[in-house]
Amino acid sequence: MITSLRLLDFKNFADETLRVGPFTVVVGANASGKSNIRDAFRFLQGIGRGYTLAEIIGGKYGADGRGEWRPIRGAANEIIRFDQPAFALEIGLTLGNEKATYSIEVSPERFRTTGFRITYECLRMGQKEVYTKPRTPYEEIYIELDNGRRIDIKRDRPALTQLCESRQVGIRYRDRTRPVINALGSMRFLEPSLDRMREPTFPGANVLGDSGENLPTVLEGICSDAQHGEILASWVRELTPMDVRGLEFPPDPSGRVHLMLCEANGRKVSAYSASDGTLRFLVILAALFGKDSKEMYFFEELDNGIHPVRLHLLVDLIERQAEKGGIQVLTTTHAPTLLAAINDVTFENTSVVCRLEHNSDAIIRRVADLPNARELRKDQGLGRLHESGWMEDALFFTEDYDEAEDDS
């Protein structure tokens, strides 16, 4: 489980930390930096996938020109906070009973021939370092293991994945690095595309794509357990006005599986004509109930296209699934209705991103840490507080005040 993300000189953050829980909500004005946080998580996901720094930042394309990995927004020129020499990310994780911290600092390559290089990297389990890539002169590039050994590495790819694959070290290092790589690589960034969700899919294609690809086969997999199928149908009934009794997955002559929603009156509606909101619900349900749901799902504006009356049901479902463990969900939002619906646990994991006046950097603060936040939430509701601009006002007051105190 991911517990925190620290961003140093990454895009518009100088040094900020986001607390991450089972369900994490990030609010903030337009252009405050919410999606920059997503970009930071994507960078780490790219590490988990074993890519080089150049691939993670600039994209990875096959010989046919097709993209396997999209570049980070802004790519090479805008990933580091303007006028800074390097950026760093530090992610906190719990792996079983152990706390792990993985840090990486990245700079542009000296002559820009290979894009970027690692200037510092470290993996800690508890307080102990498993390995460190120290800040060495440019020509020297090695990592130091906890047993004192030095291993030469390449400078253009994170040491984490190089160490995991290395034959020069004992299996212990693979056992230490693999769970971290898996946790990073299994983060998911769902940006459902209605066209993709409507497409029939081939049997066996049971990994939900980031655009919602393979929705029919993933749902079919979930429904192969009758009890799960009933839970799924009952959520569709709750979340939409349709009286859905079950889902069916008839094959077409080419063998592709179609998604049909069967209503109580015997009518069947195919994914082609199911409503956009219904498909959005289905893809979220597929993510939450899918077999390999040992992941963190990142949604940009989860509330997008969903009626406010149904939104609290969706929030409720995510909170229940996330609190069971295994799955984590992180969403950005502008919706007061979503904020009004979250429970006390999620409130503790709700943060606001804000750019203060006269400063192009953004700050991240837990909403619960703002003055009187808990009392005000009880009295007025978080949705109303958000609508009134209270979070930003509270930040301007407290942060400006802090700065003035620092100056004096």
Contacts of 388 (CB under 8 A, 6+ apart): none
Q: Tokens for 183, please give them.
A: 């946790």
Contact between 36 and ligand ATP (CB under 6 A)? yes
Residue of 61, 76, 78, 396 interacting with ligand ATP (CB under 6 A): 78
Residue of 17, 35, 380, 398 interacting with ligand ATP (CB under 6 A): 35
Nearer to Mg ion, 18 or 236 (CB): 18
Residue type, 276: D
Residue of 6, 42, 81, 188 interacting with ligand ATP (CB under 6 A): 81
Using the contact rule CB under 6 A, the part of the chain among 26-34, 60-68, 105-113, 390-398 near ligand ATP is: 26-34
Contact between 386 and ligand ATP (CB under 6 A)? no
Residue of 6, 8, 12, 119 interacting with ligand ATP (CB under 6 A): 12
Contact between 331 and ligand ATP (CB under 6 A)? no
Separation of alpha carbons 311 and 299, rounded Å: 14
CB of 304 to Mg ion, least distance (A): 11
Instruction: Give the residue among 166, 161, 70, 156 at the shortest CA–CA distance from 113.
Output: 156
Residue type, 379: D
Using the contact rule CB under 6 A, the part of the chain among 32-40, 133-141, 163-171, 198-206 near ligand ATP is: 32-40
Contact between 35 and Mg ion (CB under 5 A)? yes
Q: Tokens for 245, please give them.
A: 């009794």
Contact between 333 and ligand ATP (CB under 6 A)? no
Separation of alpha carbons 181 and 175, rounded Å: 10
Residue type, 214: N
Contact between 273 and ligand ATP (CB under 6 A)? no
Nearer to ligand ATP, 355 or 377 (CB): 355
Separation of alpha carbons 97 and 99, rounded Å: 7
Residue type, 41: F
Q: Where are the alpha helices (DSSP H) in 166-294?
A: 171-185, 194-198, 215-223, 226-239, 276-289
DSSP code per residue over 74-131: THHHHSBPTT-S-EEEEEEEEETTEEEEEEEEEEE-TTSSSSEEEEEEEEEETTEEEE
Residue of 2, 20, 27, 34 interacting with ligand ATP (CB under 6 A): 34
Contact between 356 and ligand ATP (CB under 6 A)? no
Give me the phi and psi of 215, to 5 degrees please.
Answer: -55, -45
Q: Which residues are near ligand ATP by CB under 6 A? A: 11-12, 28, 30-36, 74, 78, 80-82, 360
Residues that bind Mg ion (CB under 5 A): 34-35
